[in-house]
Structure 1
Amino acid sequence: MSRLHLTPATLEVTPIYVGDTKKKKKKKKKPKKKRIEQSDPPRVGLSKIFTDGVYPEGEIQPYKDDNAWRTTSEEKRYLEKMAMEDPEVTYQNIRRAAEVHRQVRQYARKYIRPGQSLTKIAEYIENGTRALVEENGLECGVGFPTGLSLNNCAAHFTPNAGDTTILQSGDILKVDFGVHVKGRILDSAFTLTWEPTYDRLVEAVKAATDTGVREAGIDVRLGELAGYIQETMESYEVEVKGKVLPVKPIENLSGHSIGMYQIHGGKSVLLVKNEDPTKMEEGDYFAIETFGSTGRGRVVDNGDCSHFAKIIDAPRVPIRLTSAKSLLRTISTNFGTLPFCRRYLDRIGESKYLLALNHLVQQGIIQDYPPLCDAIGSMTAQFEHTILLRPTVKEVVSRGDDY
């Protein structure tokens, strides 16, 4: 082994001075973008809040019994992926509509109080919906008129122009409104009451809707599902002025499947057990809504009509009135087959249209939906959620912290 011989000439020491070393520059952290908060009243479009275009998923419920395998199935997971990429069925459109509904109703539930007019309440909800969904013709907007049905009126009431009805502290108010994105309609409803007497009625209907949501699923027969809803609702009673009243499901109202630009898609979930053998299927999109009453449990048409919709497969018939032809063009352009109300016609500048509108109804081109009421003196309540029967799981898209 050789030894290295160092001489003074070869041994040179380079002095190191403190401060000569080059310090690595720290990368400046980019400030995190502050998430934009919703305003009060709600007016900030969701695209400004969810800038990546990804909207919150609803509540996930695994399928039960014979369909439990779907959760881990590779084949069904692949179908989920394909559905996400298909612009006709993409879940993001549904979830965007659902998030609009959640945010608007969050503020509406704080805003609505006795002493307000129903017209102002409807406008508050609809203005918020239009702003958050960033309304754009038939691309996205309000899904159907805001239902504000009081007391024995269970559904299909919204104020017409000039309505002066004021919400009272003893009223039970059903709030039913919808949002659509590219024809995918989100349909959800809740009930408000300021009179403790009817808390059990509200509780019964909410529990019945939750039962319907829980028991719904692929291959479930609609008649059997109605039986589960009925059993839950009829397990409740309400004491009114010392008299105990049963809570009855309203037998001639129902939940329904939802089609593209079509609020009633063809399948119905009644609220009393029946022999309907129709099954829920993979990909079905349903509004599970239940109505309970302290009255007879059956509704009839009553009062001035406010809700209308163009019939999808309406017959081709001659329209004699020029004004009716013009109105039909306006309806087709602005609403397509989405439900609308008289206030919406007023809003887009139509006037003196009642004769033309009634003519279109008589010709079977437009369907009218009058208010639906139980017996005078009875009280009704409603809750509703929209569910999506995905290939792997059931998604309660409209679920929120409130209901």
Structure 2
Amino acid sequence: MTPDEVLVESFESPNETVVNAPPQVEKTNAKKKRKKNKKKTALTGTKLPPFRGVGGFTDSYIKYGQTEPPTIPVSKLFAVGSFPKGEEHPHPGDFNTYRTTSEEKRALERANEALYDRIRYAAETHRQVRKFAQSIIKPGIRLIDMCEAIENKNRELVEEAGFARGIGFPTGCSLNHIAAHYTPNTGDDTVLKYGDVMKVDFGTQVDGRIIDSAFTVAFDPQFDNLLAAAKAATEEGVKVSGIDARLGEIGGAIQEVMESYEVTIEGKTYPVKCIRNLNGHSIDPYLIHAGKSVPIVKSDDNTKMEEGEIFAIETFASTGRGYVVNDMECSIYAKAHDAPHVPLRLPRAKKLLSHVSRTFGTLPFCCRWLEREDGGSATNNPKGAKQEKYKIALKNLVDNGLLIDYPPLLDVRGSYTAQYEHTIILRPTCKEIVSRGDDY
């Protein structure tokens, strides 16, 4: 479907056509129709993404009164308690049907409404930031410029305020055979090309409640099936997730959908594989990877999802071996939430650990943020918090188990990988896909 056809399908209804009308009536109706379509355009947006992999309009947030590009903090567009709900589905399984009408479960849900509203606040911010991102991603953009634009817009729309609100984790922009955990360090001038497949993964947090959601960018239509495989597999993972769902069985359902696809690239056909050592995960306050992993291949893990938990359901498709290894220069780190008490002998390491604790807590950060004038947070730090000559101290903290490093994860060179991800809440009465948008 062409962009023009998309616009026609979105804004025109066949029922509005006047058949065999007199010329003057026809002219009047045409004028009314243009006004009506103009009003619809103003309410829904008109700008299509300049790449494949997502749908909707990049300026769809204008229906809430947002500017284009977005500049109004999301909290100014919605009253407390009225942030948009995500997509709601019943929990799978006959044993869960009672939940939709149970007064006890509805009462429990009402008691948690303030928590859900904060999560929806973060989710709406994420939607608007990623729409902004989708409007600027084009061949020729430097990845470091793209990441900083996304992160600055995230800070602006969520009204960054230290641990109360801000970025959930650094922007990932992993290319081609790099599946995850790549964000540029200072001096990295990598440019996005027409033939690249890029995974865009970033987070927004409100009161430590993190929205983790990702999509894949491609310009060349030969990658469509690879993206479709990851998207369909993620949708299946979301569908079969819910209270009392077993993690190993969720992985099996994801794998079955993912591996039903194949993709032809440069005349060669590849089976699409799950990257078997990458997983979805539960999310706790200020902790992006909590205690449970959601596999994307079948396993014997009988651990169940439980009421009240929050999960990131993400899948990774590959044309390579379907297995990733650590490689390249690391740029993303996080303070270990269960860090041991270790006496540090290196003064710079002590100083850096203090800075990380004060600035990020257990939220992931990247080297670029340490090098900002505010050291990564305008709220949590005094002026002049920029970190210099920190690399040895960083390594020392990792070696002592106080920081966790997250180096890029790579499949075989020459292969291509894709990713889609949504955050879901297992509410007492239903499953809410809080990160759902009209883009994916």
Tell me if TM exceeds 0.5: yes
| Match runs of 1:298-313 below 5 Å | 298-313=323-338
Q: Structure 2 length as normaliser, TM-score?
A: 0.82
Task: Note if 1:247 corresponds to 2:272.
Answer: yes
Task: Note if 1:389 corresponds to 2:426.
Answer: yes
* SS of match in other structure, 1:114: coil
| Match runs of 1:308-387 below 5 Å | 308-347=333-372, 348=375, 349-387=386-424
Aligned partner of 1:15 in structure 2 is none
* SS of match in other structure, 1:160: coil
Aligned partner of 1:50 in structure 2 is 78
- Measured after TM superposition, the shift of residue 124 of structure 1 is 1.3
* SS of match in other structure, 1:43: coil
Task: Note if 1:155 corresponds to 2:155.
Answer: no
Aligned partner letter, 1:93: R
Determine the C-alpha separation between the residues in 2 that align with 1:360 and 1:302. Answer: 20
Q: How many residues align?
A: 366
Aligned partner letter, 1:198: F
* SS of match in other structure, 1:210: helix
Contact 2:75 2:121 in 1 (8 A): no
Aligned partner of 1:177 in structure 2 is 202
Aligned partner of 2:247 in structure 1 is 222
Task: Give the root-mean-square deviation of aligned CA atoms.
Answer: 1.2
Aligned partner of 2:104 in structure 1 is 75
Unaligned runs of 5+ in 1: 1-33
Aligned partner letter, 2:398: V
Larger Rg: 1
* SS of match in other structure, 1:265: coil
Determine the C-alpha separation between the residues in 1 that align with 2:160 and 2:71. Answer: 12
Distance verdict in 2 for CA 1:393–1:242, change over 3 Å: same
Distance verdict in 2 for CA 1:151–1:83, change over 3 Å: same
Determine the C-alpha separation between the residues in 2 that align with 1:281 and 1:217. Answer: 8
Determine the C-alpha separation between the residues in 1 that align with 2:208 and 2:246. Answer: 27
Which of 103, 114, 124 is the equivalent residue of 1:99? 124
- Measured after TM superposition, the shift of residue 53 of structure 1 is 4.8
- Measured after TM superposition, the shift of residue 52 of structure 1 is 4.1
Contact 1:47 1:53 in 2 (8 A): no
Contact 2:80 2:117 in 1 (8 A): no
Determine the C-alpha separation between the residues in 2 that align with 1:275 and 1:383. Answer: 24
- Measured after TM superposition, the shift of residue 108 of structure 1 is 1.1
- Measured after TM superposition, the shift of residue 66 of structure 1 is 1.5
Which of 85, 106, 113 is the equivalent residue of 2:138? 113
Give CA-to-partner distance per residue, 1:341-385, whole Å, 9 cap, x none. Answer: 001111111111101111000000000000000000000000000
Q: Structure 1 length as normaliser, TM-score?
A: 0.89
Determine the C-alpha separation between the residues in 2 that align with 1:207 and 1:301. Answer: 27
Determine the C-alpha separation between the residues in 2 that align with 1:143 and 1:167. Answer: 24
Identity, % of aligned pairs?
58
Contact 1:295 1:375 in 2 (8 A): yes
Contact 2:164 2:207 in 1 (8 A): yes
Higher helix proportion, which one?
A: 2
Determine the C-alpha separation between the residues in 1 that align with 2:209 and 2:298. Answer: 29
Give CA-to-partner distance per residue, 1:157-197, whole Å, 9 cap, x none. Answer: 00001110000000001000000000100000000100111
Segment drifting more, 43-52 vs 127-136: 43-52
Determine the C-alpha separation between the residues in 2 that align with 1:166 and 1:208. Answer: 29
Task: Note if 1:39 corresponds to 2:76.
Answer: no
